[in-house]
């Protein structure tokens, strides 16, 4: 069981525990708990992306039970067997349900460890060579030389790319869509409430996961915090921290981080239009574990070619 308990803790409380000045190391000015931990532990803290080799194992452990957006995605794909290109497929949280529903999936993903986890799960579920193809690649630079009935990008991962990356990704998606194809992707929304009128961190909670089988090996637990940074550059920060002591007494302090930026939907629609994609559907999906989060699933189709006579 990944997520055991959620307890309200403010990031300020954690930051005040960061007593010593700590070595002036890169990242010490990061917002939220990540910055506080870097200042507290200095060079003794190893910091990695949550999609690194070790982080991928952690991501898989944490997200394994997350059903968010799966049913909406499957119904948008409909009952007909489709060829699907899934971008940033991760360890298969969305891929496996699509395979179970009979779709053929090409899963493109940057992290080799994620692809290994996905391949192992698909093999264990009996989805052999036919319906699943794994591709190690970058979603903002790919050319697979074929077209698909659908391109899918879930888990609000569009926010992992900056504006130039999104423009390149949308262009590549357009080139890989069949004329009747659809592009389905989700983007983070935050509910506007009095809480978010605060200028700094909100929505901090702690999830404790048993470490066994996780990136740190046996023993201990891992604290995972999700924080909301308000104001300009709004983003959701995910920080997962653990300290591990090996049998020789060596301590390993490790922090895995990820950021989900809040993107303006009107901006996204303009970027899509510039790439030749038109939004034809918007579905609001309720927010999983975080009560103030929701997701918007956008459905896009190739824009009609401009009138050649016009």
- Between 38 and 160, CB nearer to ligand SAM: 160
User: Phi/psi at 254 (nearest 5 deg)?
Assistant: -140, 135
> Does residue 194 sit in helix, strand or coil?
helix
Which residues have C-beta within 8 Å of that of residue 26, sequence separation ≥ 6? none
Task: For helices 112-124 and 53-63, give the axis angle rounded to 10 degrees.
Answer: 40
How many residues touch ligand SAM under the rule CB under 6 A: the total is 18
Q: Which of 131, 154, 214, 215 binds ligand SAM (CB under 6 A)?
A: 154
Q: Which of 25, 54, 101, 110 binds ligand SAM (CB under 6 A)?
A: 110
Task: Tell whether residue 111 is a contact of ligand SAM (CB under 6 A).
Answer: yes
Task: Tell whether residue 88 is a contact of ligand SAM (CB under 6 A).
Answer: yes
Helices (H), 187-290: 265-274
Task: Tell whether residue 189 is a contact of ligand SAM (CB under 6 A).
Answer: no
Q: Which of 38, 77, 155, 297 binds ligand SAM (CB under 6 A)?
A: 155
Q: Which of 31, 42, 63, 119 binds ligand SAM (CB under 6 A)?
A: 63
For residue 6, give Cα distances in angstroms to 101, 207, 212, 240.
33, 5, 19, 14
Task: Tell whether residue 97 is a contact of ligand SAM (CB under 6 A).
Answer: no
| Alpha carbons 257 and 241: distance in angstroms, whole number | 9
Task: Tell whether residue 89 is a contact of ligand SAM (CB under 6 A).
Answer: yes
Task: Tell whether residue 109 is a contact of ligand SAM (CB under 6 A).
Answer: yes
Task: Classify residue 146 as exposed, middle or buried by CB count within 10 Å of its CB (0-12, 13-18, 19+).
Answer: exposed
Q: Residue 35: left (phi > 0), alpha (psi -120 to 50), or beta?
A: alpha
Task: Tell whether residue 140 is a contact of ligand SAM (CB under 6 A).
Answer: yes
- Between 38 and 188, CB nearer to ligand SAM: 188
User: Phi/psi at 15 (nearest 5 deg)?
Assistant: -65, -35
Q: Which of 104, 138, 283, 290 binds ligand SAM (CB under 6 A)?
A: 138
| Alpha carbons 81 and 101: distance in angstroms, whole number | 8
Binding segment for ligand SAM (CB under 6 A), chosen from 30-38, 154-162, 234-242, 282-290, is 154-162
Q: Which of 90, 131, 215, 276 binds ligand SAM (CB under 6 A)?
A: 90
Residue ranges in contact with ligand SAM by CB under 6 A: 51, 63, 88-90, 93-94, 109-111, 114, 138-140, 154-155, 157, 160
């Amino acid at each position: 069981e990944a997520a055991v308990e959620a307890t309200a803790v403010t990031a300020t409380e954690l930051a005040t525990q960061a007593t010593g000045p700590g070595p002036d190391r890169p990242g010490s000015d990061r917002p939220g708990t990540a910055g506080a931990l870097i200042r507290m532990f200095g060079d003794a803290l190893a910091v990695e992306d949550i999609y690194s080799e070790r982080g991928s194992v952690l991501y898989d452990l944490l997200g394994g039970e997350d059903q968010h957006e799966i049913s909406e995605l499957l119904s948008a794909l409909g009952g007909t067997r489709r060829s699907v290109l899934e971008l940033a497929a991760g360890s298969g949280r969305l891929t496996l349900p699509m395979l179970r529903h009979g779709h053929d999936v090409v899963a493109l993903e940057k992290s080799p460890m994620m692809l290994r986890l996905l391949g192992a799960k698909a093999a264990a579920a009996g989805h052999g060579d036919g319906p699943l193809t794994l591709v190690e690649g970058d979603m903002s630079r790919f050319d697979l030389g074929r077209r698909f009935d659908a391109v899918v990008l879930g888990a609000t991962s569009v926010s992992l790319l900056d504006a130039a990356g999104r423009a390149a990704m949308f262009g590549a998606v357009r080139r890989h869509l069949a004329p009747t194809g659809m592009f389905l992707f989700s983007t983070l929304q935050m509910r506007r409430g009095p809480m978010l009128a605060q200028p700094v961190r909100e929505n901090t909670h702690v999830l404790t996961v048993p470490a066994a089988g996780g990136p740190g090996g046996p023993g201990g637990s891992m604290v995972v915090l999700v924080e909301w940074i308000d104001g300009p550059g709004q983003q959701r920060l995910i920080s997962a921290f653990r300290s591990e002591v090996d049998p020789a007494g060596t301590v390993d302090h490790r922090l895995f981080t990820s950021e989900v930026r809040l993107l303006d939907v009107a901006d996204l629609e303009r970027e899509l239009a510039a790439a030749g994609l038109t939004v034809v559907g918007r579905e609001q999906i309720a927010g999983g574990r975080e009560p103030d989060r929701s997701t918007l699933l956008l459905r896009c189709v190739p824009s009609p070619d401009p009138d050649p006579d016009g």
